[in-house]
Amino acid sequence: KVLACAPSNIAVDNVVERLARSGAKVIRLGHPARLVSSILQHSLDNLLANSEGAEIVKDIRKEMNTAMSKSASAKISADRRKWRNEMKTLKKELLQREEKLLRELLKKADVILATNTG
């Protein structure tokens, strides 16, 4: 595994482009808005969004939103408490699944690239 850093986004993006052309498995850390469009497929955000577990994460987020809505509209405090507990459980599961996806992606990478700050 290699962690490569450079002082600017353009410099990191240039390295990503060259390494990707050589066949290396690269992951570009950083906000997608600051990345060159040609390397977006190597960004961590994009890789997470298109990973195998992404649909499960999306489903958990939907369930959390539903539980939040039901909690807000519940008239009885016991019902609100029930929905808040459901949200806590879902949040814990969400964090575990996101962390697992992140670890799996980082393990598969040959090179991880980022700027020196940020």
Q: State the burial class of residue 105 (Cβ atoms within 10 Å of its Cβ: 0-12, 13-18, 19+).
A: middle
| pLDDT tens by residue, the chain, 118 residues | 899 999 999 999 999 999 999 999 999 999 999 999 999 999 999 999 999 889 999 999 999 999 999 988 989 999 999 999 999 999 999 999 999 999 999 999 999 999 997 5
- H or E element in which residue 114 lies: strand 111-115
pLDDT at 117: 78
Is-contact 118 10, C-beta < 8 A?
A: no
Query: What token pair was written down for 101?
Result: 């996806």
Amino acid at 77: S
pLDDT at 66: 93
Full-model pTM? 0.79
Is-contact 110 2, C-beta < 8 A?
A: yes
pLDDT at 52: 86
